[in-house]
Amino acid sequence: MEFDRMDENDWKYHGEGNKSLVVSHVQHCRVLRLLKYPAEDSENPPQTAEQAFRQIQNIVDFSSNVMSSLLGGKFVHSGEVVRLPLEFVRQLSIKIQHQRPAWRCDKVMDIYSGCALCLPNLTSPTLHQQTPSPPLCIEIKPKCGFLPSPKHVSKDIKTRVCRYCMHQHYKVANGKWKRRSLYCPLDLFSGNRQRMHFAIRHLIEEPQNNLKVFKGGQCIYSSKEGSDESPDLNALLHHLRPYFLRGNNRINGHITTKAVLNDFIQVLVNALLSASGGDGGQVTDRAGGGRSFCEASLFNTERVRHGSQGLPTNSVLSRILQTQMLDTLDIEGLYPLYRRLEQHLQDFPKDRTRLQIDGPYDQNFLEKVQKSSMEDDGSVEYAAAKVHQYRIAMTAKDCSIMAALVPGVEEENDDEEPQAFSSSVSILDLDPKPLDSIPRQLRLDQKIVSCYLRTGGALP
Ligand code: ATP
Ligand code: ZN
Ligand code: MG
Ligand code: MG
């Protein structure tokens, strides 16, 4: 692709998060991920073009040198920083503006730096050229899949109800979402097929920003924030039906809605459990069985008692969970170390570079994190290593999984066999989290827990 000669008509709006906006190429399997700024700053960019370039290069380095080693290179596509003509970026921003959801428009697309991240388009895997129906891609933002250890938390509830479930009560109390989701990450990360099925069914019922479904590269199912309406499940089922007509679902040529949904979830669970990193079959032993069930989940506990599997090692969920668990101290146990680091940086500002607080995210950074001794010797190096680990865990708690399901080529006269899918799984959104997000994390944690203790436990 020639980035110095770009035409906005070759690109279309694809989606956005809180930090970036994504456009996809109409022909090639490529996306551009552009930075966003608060709308107040729209006249006055908060950073120079060189700083923006540096920021995106940091994202690429963090993803390729740090997150990719921890999560597995097979799952991670780090992309490259590109420089774009400013006129192209301006025209693009005008062209896509009306397609952006209103609730995201408190931020504007960066039209000043001309820098962007170029990535493979994970919603339209190239394999599909040969297949009759377009691939289905399911994006899941799973959030944190374990409970903190009782050693470091001040409120006992945090060891019994997971962060996501408590946060749901807080979001509904503050009007961010109208309804609470019954999805619980601990069910998804359990490795138990029934629990995973249950978790995904609730993601579909109340997707919020944790689930999107794409067909042939187009988003066909997602939530609108603050909206009263639920997303159109019937429309989703209408899209899915043709993929699940084969096999023993058919009753006189008709397939029930329930069967379509069940088959779809089944295929997705299989994709998530497939171990793409070599040795499959093995099972990750979760640290203490007591930390893998959330009291707020409505999944019937009795059913779990028997046959509680773990996750296959090297499955995408196992790799994400292991990386999330680098948060060993919880925000409450980490905060004193953050303070130690902050104090030191105030006294010795030059150590910011030596301790690699803002990168570079190179091999050396990864080694510091992996070698950090378990004993607190009171040093600033220990504090910095624990803070780095915590920030990596935060990234793993905030990333998304993209599961691409590609229907196999149909063989004639084989209607009895269920439709076969090949799947590929990727992880996206692996930006480093800034140091100053840590005090905010502590305050948010306190608000969520006190809101839950005040109101949550009582709600149905
Ligand atoms: P968040 O608010 O979750 O932190 P973000 O602002 O960091 O989000 P991303 O999650 O990276 O941004 O991207 C926003 C959306 O764009 C994603 O949810 C996904 O739907 C889409 N997207 C991002 N990268 C790709 C890609 N490589 N291929 C296809 N779609 C993508
Ligand atoms: Zn939960
Ligand atoms: Mg995201
Ligand atoms: Mg992000």
Same domain? For 403 and 443 the reply is yes
Tell me 244's DSSP state. G
Separation between Cα atoms, residue 101 and residue 123, nearest integer Å: 20
Question: Is residue 355 in a domain?
Answer: no
Q: What pLDDT sits at residue 280?
A: 45
- Sequence length of the chain is 460
* 28 touches ligand 1 (CB under 6 Å): no
Q: What pLDDT sits at residue 371?
A: 80
Same domain? For 282 and 189 the reply is yes
Helix (H) or strand (E) holding 437: helix 437-454
Domain boundary among 121, 144, 162: 121
Among all chains, which residue has been given the structure tokens 């190429």?
25
Q: What pLDDT sits at residue 411?
A: 62
**Minimum CA distance residue for ligand 1 atom 7:** 19
DSSP string, 345-405: HHH-TTHHHHTTBTB--SHHHHHHHHH--SS--S-HHHHHHHHHHHHHHHHHHH-EEEEEE
Domain boundary among 81, 97, 121: 121
Question: Is residue 387 in a domain?
Answer: no
Q: What pLDDT sits at residue 279?
A: 45
**Minimum CA distance residue for ligand 1 atom 21:** 15
Domain span at residue 63 reads: 8-121
Q: What pLDDT sits at residue 278?
A: 46
Separation between Cα atoms, residue 77 and residue 159, nearest integer Å: 34
Q: Which residues pair with residue 119 across a beta bridge?
A: 31
Q: What pLDDT sits at residue 420?
A: 86
Q: What pLDDT sits at residue 249?
A: 56
Q: What pLDDT sits at residue 410?
A: 62
Which atom number of ligand 1 is nearest to the Cα of residue 400? 10
- Tokens (6 digits) for 125: 């895997």
Q: What pLDDT sits at residue 458?
A: 58
Tell me 230's DSSP state. P
* 432 touches ligand 1 (CB under 6 Å): no
Ligand located closest to 395 CA: 4
Ligand located closest to 189 CA: 2
Q: What pLDDT sits at residue 307?
A: 55
Domain boundary among 72, 98, 121: 121
Domain count, the chain: 2
**Minimum CA distance residue for ligand 1 atom 24:** 428
CATH number of 75's domain:
3.30.200.110
Instruction: Give me ligand 3 centre to Cα 18, in Å.
Output: 7
Cis amide bond preceding 38, omega within 30: no
* 454 touches ligand 1 (CB under 6 Å): no
Instruction: Give me ligand 1 centre to Cα 413, in Å.
Output: 41
Give Cβ neighbours of residue 322 (< 8 Å, ≥ 6 apart). 70, 284
* 437 touches ligand 1 (CB under 6 Å): no
Q: Yes or no: say if 345 and 414 are a contact pair by the CB < 8 Å rule.
A: no
Ligand located closest to 211 CA: 1
Ligand located closest to 139 CA: 1
Which atom number of ligand 1 is nearest to the Cα of residue 141? 3
Question: Is residue 349 in a domain?
Answer: no
Same domain? For 297 and 151 the reply is yes
Same domain? For 136 and 116 the reply is no
For residue range 338-380, list pLDDT tens digits in order: 999 999 999 999 999 999 999 999 999 999 998 867 789 999 9
Same domain? For 311 and 287 the reply is yes
Cα atoms found within 13 Å of the Cα of residue 444, Cβ hemisphere only: 14
Same domain? For 211 and 79 the reply is no
Question: Is residue 345 in a domain?
Answer: no
Question: Is residue 340 in a domain?
Answer: no
For residue range 129-144, list pLDDT tens digits in order: 566 789 999 999 999 9
Beta-sheet pairing, 107-109 with 211-215: unpaired
Which atom number of ligand 1 is nearest to the Cα of residue 426? 27
Same domain? For 276 and 221 the reply is yes
Question: Is residue 449 in a domain?
Answer: yes
For residue range 15-57, list pLDDT tens digits in order: 999 999 999 999 999 999 999 999 887 777 889 999 999 999 9
For residue range 59-84, list pLDDT tens digits in order: 999 999 999 999 999 999 999 999 99
Higher pLDDT, 458 or 134: 134
Separation between Cα atoms, residue 406 and residue 428, nearest integer Å: 19
Q: What pLDDT sits at residue 415?
A: 61
Probe ligand 1: pick from 400, 427, 430, max atoms within 8 Å of CB?
400
**Minimum CA distance residue for ligand 1 atom 12:** 17
Same domain? For 220 and 307 the reply is yes
Task: Give the mean model confidence (pLDDT) for residues 305-322.
Answer: 84
Which atom number of ligand 1 is nearest to the Cα of residue 139? 20
